[in-house]
Chain A
Amino acid sequence: MNLIACVKQVPDTEAQIKVKADGSGIEEAGIKWVMNPYDEFGVEEALRLKEKAGGTVTVVSVGPARAMETIRTALAMGAEKGVHITDLDNADAFATASALAAAIKEIPFDLVFCGQRAIDDDSAQVGSILAELLGVPQVTIVTKLEVADNKIKAVKPIEGAQLLIEASMPCVVTAQKGLNEPRYASLPGIMKAKKKPVDVKKAADYGISADFKANVAKMMPPPSRPPGKIIQGDDPAVKAAELVKLLREEAKVI
């Protein structure tokens, strides 16, 4: 089976994010970069399918030079090869998906994994656009997956229920937490990863322009929380009445 896992490098969930003074993005100095956690589920699922049914896993990433670390991490986990598209800084979801689609079209593929969203911009669009551009079915937010007879059966939780969805392969699956427990890159894996091939490409190689449909106009830190209010008084009933009044009139939550 030819399996593809798309990965994005994002700031560590514990990183202290500071917005640049000019609002053009975040301060990158001192940030620890990691593989997007939802993409890790995708990589792990691809590796498990390969280990069960044979085949190869190719990781594809759009990101600056440092994203190579994330590709190497996936290779150290057990993927065979990588494709790195380097010059699409601040790309929108459409440009990212276009680049991924162009790279994936050059490789035979049966199943493509994406994280259901990236934890940095939270757009949750790339997997779906990618499926459209590849012209294949998509199943998003998957927590369980079975593959047999050139078809997938995927479980997708929705409000108050679970859907069991069948789709024909090739297709795109976006991975949700719970799909599996990703493995750690092992030391032997890290030593082998160095020697695995990674194709470094430019967007122009695929005819993709850096003229994006959507651009971030300005990044602002979330507004700081206004100070809390303590209701003074001795009579609990009076205080409760005051609280209800404030919740209704000031906070407008009831």
Chain B
Amino acid sequence: MSDILVNSRDQKFLLYEQLDVEKLFGYEKFKDYSKDVVDMMLGEAEKMAEEVLIPTYAEGDREGCRFEGGKVSVPACYQDAYRKFCEGGWLCPTKDPEIGGQGMPAAVFSACVEMMDGANFAFMMYPGLTAGAAGLVEKYGTDEQKEKYLSKMLSGEWTGTMCLTEPGAGSDVGALRTTAKRLPDGTFLISGTKCFISCGDHDLAANIIHPVLARIEGDPPGTGGISIFLVPKYRLNEDGSPGELNDVHTGNIEHKMGIKGSATCTLNFGDDGKCVGELLGKERQGMRIMFQMMNEARLEVGMQGLGHASAAYQRSLRYSKERIQSAPIWEMKNPAAKPVPIIEHPDIRRTLLWMKSYVEGLRALNYFAALALDMTHVAEKQREKDLWNGFLELLTPICKAFTSDKAMEICSYAIDIHGGYGYCSEYPVEQYMRDCKIATIYEGTNAIQALDLVGRKLGANRGANVTALFEKIGETIARAKGLPALQKEGGFLEEALGAVVELTRQFGRWGKSASFMIPVLNARPYLMILGDLVVGWLVLQAGAIAEEKLEGIYREKGAEGSRAKQRALARKDEEVAFYQGKVASAVYFTAAVLPTIQGRCRGIGLGDRTPIEMLEASF
């Protein structure tokens, strides 16, 4: 196995041993799936990622997108890759088979997408946005709209976007100025400018369908007065084929730090007063409708972070075994000592294990959120559905913001491990870091995600969602404490949980008092604390599962109680080495990261408000 992008054994551990996705196959919705089918799909996803997408990675970055004569072209190598990607059926595997999907569980798709995102995320934005926009048509479109747009979008023949941002309306969407004027036939004339529109214009597809937020003339200001419209780049002919241009013009494309193969466009709608849009859903429901796509997109941005983090770790691991530099520290006084692969140096080993444990924890977090989405579809009892939906809502901002912030750190450490070479374009890690950075910004900045978590998600459902999460964490604490090898680690998680529970209660009290600014001020560090707690939980859960398997193997092979025999076993047997690696992640993470949670919680709990109170002149 090449494992350039992911540790595929870890993916399978997570799917089959930790999340037990096979239980999904027992439900009617996923009855056509089995482990054999999923393994084959993972194999094909790996091929698509490694053979089709990786070859476009550096080339797409060097060539970038071009804007000439009002037209945008993508890197030339994307054309063939896009055709193969769509032919493979990868545009919308999780959609129902009746509309062109494969009914794939989201948890399984996560494993496929992780590889593809790590291979070339800029490319993946075109199909990703298309599937998201098609999802809006599927859920809110009229039969006629579905007939016109859905199959063409889900096959990739046409692509989609999401048009929210305007020059004066970024995080504050309610300030948008794009207008919609009623026409006698029930359609609308759209007029306004949208900026930072990913995949807003390109030459990959024959038409582009833009879901556009705009305000119908006379509707109230703010988010409550916003409606959403479907605006095709080319109007449709009677037979449904693309016809004349719909007065949608590209103003320019951005020149960005990363994801250079993804065309980021300024789009001018209705410069000549001829841009026609169709209302999607009901009037003034635009934000609610767009939130479906935004919530999905936030999970996808989490996957973007994960894909980059995983690829950065895999590359670092490979490089640290190949790169020979410096004799070991214990040979420092021996001039004849030979230099060794850098993986033998303590600081590299610590950095690698830090990266490994975070990558595994982030993988578990993002797949778990996808599993929660699957469970909301199949759970039979309302209580169970609510429980999973609660996890999904609570974890969405954490998946997006915590994963992307940690992924940036992981990419940065990957460059450190590569040294000066890592800073040069000869190795892909510098591009990982550039491509990954946008994930902390778009789809709602990480600061906005933190406000969503603290302002909406903690208190949602009267706090039942976060309480249910804490209960889940408690189950893992009990499981770990029952294992001699992880008893101490269970204690570390328990202490961290206690501190987070207390701070969360404190946030609740502050929220109802005159001190409500303190949770707002500390929303982002709180999100990072909760992220570490959740990763600590999932990494320890994985460690406990692995430890239980190891106990069985040691018993069988007569290696109980003998560290030497257990190590010897791992040298011969890859499975034993893998499980020992899972336990190592749990032991390291709970010792190196979890104890910092108490200190961070204590700091926030002091209620300091200096950043708010100090004068701007003093900054």
**Inside 8 A of A190's CB, which chain B residues have their CB?**
37, 40-41, 44
**Inside 8 A of A14's CB, which chain B residues have their CB?**
1-2
A65 to B573, CA, bound (A): 23
A184 to B104, CA, bound (A): 18
A184 to B89, CA, bound (A): 10
Could you tell me if A185 and B32 are in contact, using CB atoms closer than 8 angstroms?
Answer: no
A32 to B50, CA, bound (A): 15
Closest 4 pairs (CB-CB, A-B): A187-B89, A186-B89, A187-B102, A186-B88
Asked if A110 is an interface residue, CB under 8 A from chain B, the answer is: no
A191 to B163, CA, bound (A): 35
Q: How far is the CB of B105 from chain A (nearest CB, A)?
A: 13
Could you tell me if A12 and B1 are in contact, using CB atoms closer than 8 angstroms?
Answer: yes
Given contacts A14-B2, A189-B89, A190-B44, 11 further A-B contacts (CB under 8 A): A12-B2, A29-B573, A184-B52, A185-B40, A185-B88, A186-B89, A187-B102, A188-B89, A188-B102, A191-B32, A194-B36
**A to B CB contacts below 8 Å, 30 in the list:** A12-B1, A12-B2, A14-B1, A15-B1, A29-B573, A30-B1, A30-B574, A32-B1, A72-B40, A73-B40, A76-B44, A183-B87, A184-B47, A184-B52, A184-B84, A184-B88, A185-B44, A185-B88, A186-B87, A186-B88, A186-B89, A187-B44, A187-B89, A188-B102, A189-B89, A190-B37, A190-B40, A191-B37, A191-B102, A194-B32
Could you tell me if A184 and B32 are in contact, using CB atoms closer than 8 angstroms?
Answer: no
Asked if B126 is an interface residue, CB under 8 A from chain A, the answer is: no
**Inside 8 A of B297's CB, which chain A residues have their CB?**
none
Give the bracket for the number of chain A residues in contact with chain B. 20 to 34
Asked if A69 is an interface residue, CB under 8 A from chain B, the answer is: yes
- Enumerate A162-187 residues with CB–CB distance to B below 8 Å: 183-187
Contact with B48, one of A32, A69, A73, A184 (Cβ below 8 angstroms):
A184
**Interface bits A8-40 vs B (CB < 8 Å: 1, else 0):** 000010110000000000000110100000000
Residue on B nearest A13 in the bound complex, by CB:
B2
A191 to B96, CA, bound (A): 13
Q: How far is the CB of B604 from chain A (nearest CB, A)?
A: 46
**Interface bits B344-380 vs A (CB < 8 Å: 1, else 0):** 0000000000000000000000000000000000000
Residue on A nearest B52 in the bound complex, by CB:
A184
**Inside 8 A of A29's CB, which chain B residues have their CB?**
573-574
- Enumerate B1-55 residues with CB–CB distance to A below 8 Å: 1-2, 32, 34, 36-37, 40-41, 44, 47-48, 52
Asked if B93 is an interface residue, CB under 8 A from chain A, the answer is: yes
Could you tell me if B40 and A76 are in contact, using CB atoms closer than 8 angstroms?
Answer: yes
Residue on B nearest A31 in the bound complex, by CB:
B1
**Inside 8 A of B507's CB, which chain A residues have their CB?**
none
Using known A-B contacts A69-B40, A72-B40, A194-B32, determine if residue A187 contacts B574 with beta carbons closer than 8 Å: no
Could you tell me if A187 and B88 are in contact, using CB atoms closer than 8 angstroms?
Answer: yes
**Inside 8 A of B89's CB, which chain A residues have their CB?**
186-189
**Inside 8 A of A73's CB, which chain B residues have their CB?**
40
Q: How far is the CB of B2 from chain A (nearest CB, A)?
A: 5
Q: How far is the CB of B500 from chain A (nearest CB, A)?
A: 40
**Inside 8 A of B2's CB, which chain A residues have their CB?**
12, 14
Asked if B537 is an interface residue, CB under 8 A from chain A, the answer is: no
Could you tell me if B90 and A187 are in contact, using CB atoms closer than 8 angstroms?
Answer: yes
Q: How far is the CB of A43 from chain B (nearest CB, A)?
A: 15
A65 to B427, CA, bound (A): 41
Could you tell me if A184 and B44 are in contact, using CB atoms closer than 8 angstroms?
Answer: yes
- Enumerate A27-73 residues with CB–CB distance to B below 8 Å: 29-30, 32, 69, 72-73
A247 to B454, CA, bound (A): 75
**Inside 8 A of B88's CB, which chain A residues have their CB?**
184-187
A15 to B2, CA, bound (A): 8
Using known A-B contacts A30-B574, A184-B44, determine if residue A194 contacts B37 with beta carbons closer than 8 Å: yes
A69 to B39, CA, bound (A): 10
Could you tell me if A187 and B41 are in contact, using CB atoms closer than 8 angstroms?
Answer: yes
A30 to B2, CA, bound (A): 11
**Inside 8 A of A188's CB, which chain B residues have their CB?**
89, 102
Residue on B nearest A16 in the bound complex, by CB:
B1
A15 to B97, CA, bound (A): 35
A12 to B51, CA, bound (A): 14
Residue on B nearest A73 in the bound complex, by CB:
B40
- Enumerate B556-595 residues with CB–CB distance to A below 8 Å: 573-574
Q: How far is the CB of B36 from chain A (nearest CB, A)?
A: 8
A65 to B222, CA, bound (A): 64
A187 to B91, CA, bound (A): 10
Residue on B nearest A185 in the bound complex, by CB:
B44
Residue on B nearest A14 in the bound complex, by CB:
B2
Q: How far is the CB of A67 from chain B (nearest CB, A)?
A: 14
**Inside 8 A of A12's CB, which chain B residues have their CB?**
1-2
Residue on A nearest B572 in the bound complex, by CB:
A29
Residue on A nearest B45 in the bound complex, by CB:
A187
**Inside 8 A of B90's CB, which chain A residues have their CB?**
187
Most B CB contacts (10 A, CB to CB) among A15, A72, A183, A191 go to A191
Residue on A nearest B38 in the bound complex, by CB:
A190
**Inside 8 A of B102's CB, which chain A residues have their CB?**
187-188, 191
A204 to B90, CA, bound (A): 42
**Inside 8 A of A183's CB, which chain B residues have their CB?**
87
Q: How far is the CB of B22 from chain A (nearest CB, A)?
A: 16
Most A CB contacts (10 A, CB to CB) among B32, B48, B89, B97 go to B89
- Enumerate B90-149 residues with CB–CB distance to A below 8 Å: 90, 93, 97, 102, 104
A187 to B102, CA, bound (A): 7
**Inside 8 A of B37's CB, which chain A residues have their CB?**
190-191, 194
Q: How far is the CB of A175 from chain B (nearest CB, A)?
A: 19
Most A CB contacts (10 A, CB to CB) among B1, B52, B93 go to B1
Q: How far is the CB of A77 from chain B (nearest CB, A)?
A: 10
A185 to B90, CA, bound (A): 11
Contact with A187, one of B36, B84, B104 (Cβ below 8 angstroms):
B104
Residue on B nearest A29 in the bound complex, by CB:
B574
A190 to B574, CA, bound (A): 29
Q: How far is the CB of A65 from chain B (nearest CB, A)?
A: 12
A69 to B32, CA, bound (A): 17
A98 to B150, CA, bound (A): 52
**Inside 8 A of B93's CB, which chain A residues have their CB?**
187
A233 to B487, CA, bound (A): 64
